[in-house]
Amino acid sequence: MKTWFVAGLLGLGIATSAFAQSYGVPSELLNNTRRLEGDTLQVCTDVTGKIGAFDREVATAIADALFLKVNFHEGFGGFPTSGDGFLDELQIAMTNTCDIMMGMTVQENSPFPDWAVLSRPYVSLPYLFVVRDDYKSFADVPRERKLGTPLSSMGERVFITWNQQQPKDRRYIRLPYADMDLMTKRVADGSIAGMLIWAPVYSDLRKSNPEAASLHPIPIAPVPETVTRVGILMKARDTYLRTQIDQAIDALVADGTIAGLMEKFGYAGTPGDAKGVQ
């Protein structure tokens, strides 16, 4: 029976404390011999990842920069919102199948155990505030108007914290949405004044949902900017590979390759790292 990994962190808004629940992987499920892959980089991706196609192109560019072939493996997407079992499944995949796992959120305090390390970010993608009406910035949105937020996302958590810090009579009413198309519809028909949404999701909506064409992003200040930094997970023992991956990311940022891919996919954000992240 083939054991597979479950999913990446990116865009799912799972609190880091959830990933502390790992009870150890039975040794018989782990192949701890080092694979001799020669000239091939084994790349794992999450089939449900919001930027999966972008991640694959970044991985291909990294492999090209290192004069390697690339072999992709897609995992079954989705895992319990409690995080139970995620780290175990990920450890099995990284030990038995993957050299690198694309599309992982790079945080200052990593939720991963000692066997895993993260690369430097290859892209930093913000949350946008998107409206239909002619507001110039978030500060122009009347307090009596309702706002939409993506359920259980990093952007939503930052907004909730900021909103709760405001005087009670200055707080917005927030409506959480799990369905981004529905949230877009509610902005387009005026039911809510605007929505907080991750930049890649907004880019995809503009391609797939005609109602998104009537919307536009505005500056989010005074709400703190929320940026997801995206990198690559590797095994801690693969120190040489980590060095090579980081150097390849630096080169692809410097020569404009990452920026070109962002333009291709219509992503707002910053190649590489971003300052002032949450």
Q: Is residue 52 within 8 Å of 46, Cβ to Cβ?
A: yes
The pTM assigned to this predicted structure is: 0.82
CA-CA-CA-CA torsion sign (152, 154, 155, 157):
positive
Whether 147 maps to a domain, the answer reads: yes
Whether 65 maps to a domain, the answer reads: yes
pLDDT in tens, 65-78: 999 999 999 875 55
Count how many domains the chain has: 2
Whether 189 maps to a domain, the answer reads: yes
Residue 193: which residues within 8 A CB-CB, separation 6 or more?
A: 131, 133, 135, 141, 142, 145, 146, 147, 187
Look at 5-9, 57-61, 109-113, 198-202 and tell me which has the smallest mean pLDDT: 5-9
Same domain, 138 and 265: no
Task: Give the percent of the chain with pLDDT over 70.
Answer: 81
Same domain, 130 and 214: yes
Same domain, 248 and 209: no
Gap between the Cα atoms of 222 and 224, Å rounded: 6
- Across the range 22-45, mean pLDDT stands at 66
Whether 155 maps to a domain, the answer reads: yes
Other beta carbons less than 10 A from residue 152's beta carbon: 14
Whether 161 maps to a domain, the answer reads: yes
What pLDDT is stored for residue 97 in this prediction? 85
pLDDT in tens, 199-251: 999 999 999 999 999 999 999 999 999 999 999 999 999 999 999 999 999 99
Q: Which two tokens stand for residue 137?
A: 């910035």
Average of per-residue pLDDT values in the chain = 85
Whether 193 maps to a domain, the answer reads: yes
Domain extent for 155: 126-218
Q: Select the more confidently predicted residue: 121 or 110.
A: 121
pLDDT exceeds cutoff 70 at 25: no
What pLDDT is stored for residue 48 in this prediction? 81
Gap between the Cα atoms of 235 and 117, Å rounded: 6
Residue 220: which residues within 8 A CB-CB, separation 6 or more?
A: 127, 128, 129, 137, 138, 196
Gap between the Cα atoms of 158 and 115, Å rounded: 30
Gap between the Cα atoms of 96 and 34, Å rounded: 9
pLDDT exceeds cutoff 80 at 141: yes
Q: What is the CATH number of the domain that holds 137?
A: 3.40.190.10
